[in-house]
């Protein structure tokens, strides 16, 4: 069954849409407008504005990931307890939002959170003061959580359903209480799911520019917005690529950190 | 051997992507958003047999990026003034043979004259729609008349002010207020403008372009920077009398969106046929009625029977307002870098 030519379409795909674009980014990032080698675009990350944007991106992504984990883990536990099959209705409900366009969902939040939006209308009807929710860091984090939560739940749920019930029963027979079972059996065995969930939420949150643009009202600058501006508004592809390289280093660093943790716990990341 | 095969196939694929569709009787057009009537495109194909591939992008910057990245060979572009200047400077445009476009005579002289700011000899561009940058406000939420840019800095409107998320426009509001040219690239002047904008930022609800329409309609915002045609569009969706549009007294920007032919166009005659077609009176009327921006076509304007419509500032900014306005000049690389830096500074605060 060794037919390497069957892999040709994938090779073409990877070269055309992953390797070549990466090489372009590297080329642009390491050259100036006249094509000479320079490190200035990389060093530009030291600019206080860029550093601040990078820091804020990391912070918001960290908060969003933590909240996702706190929501997703108990939920996945409950789903496991309910003995849901992977095609069940509740699992479908969780996957369903992923079928919808990411942009559309974010725009919907804009309408919900707006000054005269649906939430504030309800608040006012209940006799409360309207709250400024849109165009804050909180709104951006909310958008990230909403958009990426399924990517946290599903890998954890997958990992949890793979745990053999006999292992848990055996632990109980040997006198372990619920806490010990969780700490010594369930948590370690679900670690690959947690790690893949964290990566799947943290990386897109950190690099997103659409969510911060729509829910931040253009008042909050994340590192993704800096890159978008350099490419789309000021045509400085060199600077945009330089900062993209920095961002890629952060993504690779966080992923390798995570996958190392994953290997130690046994089992490759799911998903 | 397999590896070589894979590599060859890859290269072949890449060529296939770039080389597709150089059919002589097809025109590829890219335009600013919501600026075309699909009926008009169909009619053109019916009359001439020339197929059209039409696509839109929300900003001139995006069109420029798309075009310059070289992936697609657009024949015709509909884009804003200062970008035309940039395209001319880059040598990307083809001179229009006006003998093939007799309907260009329908364009009002003043717009050809204004076009000289970015197309000095009127060789490359034909004005399509135009307008100004101004302030749009809700007269139910604001009971005094708004007249100047400084009104966008009033603390009593805190949290209900929308500025533009395009850097030239928002800086223009600050520069004009300080009495400087909206085309300033002077570092000191721009820094003063930045300080002014930074002082305003806590009052600003958001920096938007298209979303400003929704937020004004919802009543979430009371006062917003807006383009004239966009302001008219917003009014048309609501009770017209609840809104007003004004071109601030400190001066502002007049913009002209024009059609140009690129030098990648391999069927210039077809492109000129299209330009002639959209400037024909019946077609230009149809376009105006559907797009509802200020038309540059004199015959269409003169044929408007509704005198009130002609006096509608939000649609056709009046002569007195236009006199206060300047066309944006293209920024050179240093100017662009400076603007970009200051813009990021404003956003990061």
Residue A34 lies in a domain: no
Residue A170 lies in a domain: yes
Average pLDDT over residues A240-261: 89
Closest residue in B to A236 (Cα) is B337
Closest residue in A to B198 (Cα) is A219
A218 with B160: Cβ contact below 8 A: no
A25-67: per-residue pLDDT in tens? 999 999 998 989 999 999 999 999 999 999 999 999 999 999 9
The number of domains in chain A is: 1
Q: What is the ipTM of this complex?
A: 0.86
Residue A2 lies in a domain: no
Q: Residues A212, B313: contact at Cβ < 8 Å?
A: no
Residue A27 lies in a domain: no
User: Given this model, what pLDDT does residue A187 score?
Assistant: 93
DSSP-based three-state secondary structure for B268? helix
Distance CA B92, CA A107 (A): 37
Interface of A with B in 207-266 (CB under 8 A): 217-221, 225-226, 229-236
Burial A172-196 (b: 16+ CB within 10 A, else e): eeeebeeeebbeebbeebbbbbbbb
Percent of chain A scoring above 70 in pLDDT: 94
Q: Does A106 touch chain B if contact means CB atoms closer than 8 Å? A: no
Q: How many CB atoms lie within 10 A of CB B294?
A: 21
Average pLDDT over residues A216-228: 94
A115 with B205: Cβ contact below 8 A: yes
User: Given this model, what pLDDT does residue B349 score?
Assistant: 87
Distance from B111 to chain A by nearest Cα, in Å?
27
Residue A199 structural domain: 45-264
CATH number of B132-253+326-348: 3.40.190.10
Q: Which of A208, A227, A207 is nearest to A105 (CA)?
A: A208
Closest residue in A to B202 (Cα) is A219
CA angle A28, A30, A34 (to 5 degrees): 70
For residue B69, how many C-alpha atoms fall within 13 Å in the half-sphere facing its CB? Answer: 17
Lowest mean pLDDT: which of A9-13, A16-20, A112-116, A219-223? A112-116
Quick check: B2 pLDDT over 50? Answer: no
A146-190: per-residue pLDDT in tens? 999 999 999 999 999 999 989 999 999 999 999 999 999 999 999
Work out the pLDDT band at A264, boundaries 50, 70, 90: low
Closest residue in A to B12 (Cα) is A12
User: Given this model, what pLDDT does residue A271 score?
Assistant: 41
Residue A32 lies in a domain: no
Average pLDDT over residues B183-188: 96
**Within its chain, how far is the Cα of B34 from the centroid?**
11
Contacts of B1 in chain A (CB under 8 A): none
Residue A168 lies in a domain: yes
User: Given this model, what pLDDT does residue A1 score?
Assistant: 56
Domain boundaries, chain B: 24-130+255-313, 132-253+326-348
A49 with B221: Cβ contact below 8 A: no
Tell me which residue in A218, A220, A230 faces B208 most closely, judged by beta carbons.
Answer: A218
Residue A23 lies in a domain: no
User: Given this model, what pLDDT does residue A82 score?
Assistant: 85
Q: Which residue has the higher pLDDT, B239 or B263?
A: B263
Work out the pLDDT band at A7, boundaries 50, 70, 90: confident
Contacts of B348 in chain A (CB under 8 A): 49, 52-53, 221
Domains B24-130+255-313 and B132-253+326-348 share a fold: yes
Quick check: A267 pLDDT over 70? Answer: no
Q: Residues B172, B182: contact at Cβ < 8 Å?
A: yes
Q: Which two tokens stand for residue A1?
A: 């069954």
Q: Please give the CATH superfamily to which domain B24-130+255-313 belongs.
A: Periplasmic binding protein-like II (3.40.190.10)
């Amino acid at each position: 069954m060794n037919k390497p030519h069957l892999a040709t379409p994938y090779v073409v795909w990877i070269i055309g849409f992953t390797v070549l674009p990466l090489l372009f980014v590297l080329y642009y990032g390491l050259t100036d407008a006249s094509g000479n080698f320079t490190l200035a675009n990389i060093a530009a990350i030291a600019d206080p504005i860029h550093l601040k944007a990078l820091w804020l991106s990391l912070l918001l992504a960290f908060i969003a990931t933590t909240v996702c984990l706190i929501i997703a883990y108990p939920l996945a536990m409950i789903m496991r307890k309910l003995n849901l099959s992977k095609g069940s209705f509740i699992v479908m409900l969780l996957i369903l939002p992923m079928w919808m366009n990411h942009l559309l969902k974010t725009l919907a939040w804009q309408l919900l959170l707006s000054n005269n939006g649906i939430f504030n209308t309800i608040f006012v009807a209940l006799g409360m003061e309207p709250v400024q929710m849109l165009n804050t860091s909180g709104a951006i984090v909310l958008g990230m959580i909403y958009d990426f939560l399924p990517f946290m739940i599903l890998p954890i749920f997958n990992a949890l359903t793979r745990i053999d019930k006999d292992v848990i029963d055996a632990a109980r027979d040997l006198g372990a209480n619920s806490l010990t079972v969780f700490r010594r059996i369930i948590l370690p065995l679900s670690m690959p799911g947690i790690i893949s969930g964290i990566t799947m939420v943290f990386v897109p949150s950190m690099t997103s520019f659409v969510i911060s643009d729509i829910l931040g009202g253009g008042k909050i600058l994340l590192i993704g917005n800096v890159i978008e501006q350099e490419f789309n508004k000021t045509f400085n592809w060199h600077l945009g690529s330089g900062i993209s390289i920095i961002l890629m280093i952060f993504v690779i660093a966080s992923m390798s950190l995570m996958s190392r943790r994953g290997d130690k716990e046994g089992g490759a990341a799911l998903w | 051997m397999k590896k070589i095969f894979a590599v060859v196939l890859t290269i072949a694929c890449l060529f296939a992507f770039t080389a597709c569709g150089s059919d002589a009787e097809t025109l590829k057009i890219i335009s600013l958003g919501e600026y075309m009537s699909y009926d008009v495109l169909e009619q053109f194909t019916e009359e001439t047999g020339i197929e059209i591939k039409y696509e839109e992008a929300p900003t001139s910057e995006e069109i420029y990026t798309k075009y310059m990245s070289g992936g697609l060979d657009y024949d015709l572009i509909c884009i804003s003034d200062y970008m035309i200047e940039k395209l001319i400077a880059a040598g990307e445009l083809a001179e229009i043979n006006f003998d093939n476009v007799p309907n260009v005579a329908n364009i009002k002289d003043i717009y050809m004259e204004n076009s000289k700011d970015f197309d000095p000899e009127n060789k490359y561009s034909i004005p399509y729609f135009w307008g100004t940058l101004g302030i749009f406000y809700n007269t139910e939420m604001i009971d005094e008349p708004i007249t100047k840019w400084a009104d966008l800095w009033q603390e009593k409107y805190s949290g209900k002010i929308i500025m533009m998320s395009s850097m030239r426009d928002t800086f223009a509001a600050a520069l004009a207020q300080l009495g400087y040219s909206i085309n300033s690239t002077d570092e000191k002047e721009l820094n003063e403008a930045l300080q002014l904008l930074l002082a305003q930022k806590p009052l600003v609800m958001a920096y938007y372009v298209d979303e400003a329409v929704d937020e004004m309609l919802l009543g979430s915002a009371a006062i917003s920077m807006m383009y004239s045609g966009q302001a008219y569009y917003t009014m048309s969706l609501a009770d017209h009398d609840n809104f007003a549009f004004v071109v601030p007294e400190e001066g502002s920007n007049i913009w002209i969106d024009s059609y140009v032919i690129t030098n990648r166009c391999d069927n210039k005659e077809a492109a000129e046929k299209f330009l002639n077609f959209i400037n024909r009176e019946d077609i230009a009327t149809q376009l105006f009625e559907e797009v509802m921006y200020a038309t540059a076509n004199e015959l269409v304007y003169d044929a408007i029977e509704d005198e009130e419509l002609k006096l509608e500032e939000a649609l056709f900014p009046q002569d007195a307002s236009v006199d206060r306005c300047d066309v944006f000049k293209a920024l050179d690389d240093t100017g662009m870098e400076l603007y970009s830096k200051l813009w990021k500074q404003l956003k990061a605060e």
